[in-house]
Amino acid sequence: MRITIDTDRCIGAGQCVLTAPGVFTQDDDGFSELLPGRTDGAGDPMLKEAARACPVQAITVESE
């Protein structure tokens, strides 16, 4: 899996962090970023759910 966060689109709603706290975190400004070492999602079952939960579709999950 490859996860991309469109930081221009992210509004810092935090839904991704709430849904998949094992993959996403928020930076000091509240915008989404990947936890260190989790750039592939590490098989987190909530990953796709987190992408769906984002209100502005800023998260893209692709199979490699």
List contacts with ligand SF4 (CB under 6 A). 5, 10-16, 32, 54, 56, 58-59
User: Residue for token digits 């590490």?
Assistant: 42
Query: 21 or 42, CB closer to ligand SF4?
Result: 21
* Residue 58 Cβ vs ligand SF4, minimum distance, rounded to whole Å: 4
- Nearest Cα residue to 44 out of 35, 54, 56: 35
The backbone torsions φ and ψ at residue 27, rounded to the nearest 5 degrees and listed phi first, read -80, -175
Give me the helices (H) in 3-57, please. 15-19, 47-53
31 or 40: CB nearest ligand SF4 = 31
Toward ligand SF4, which CB reaches closer, 15 or 44?
15
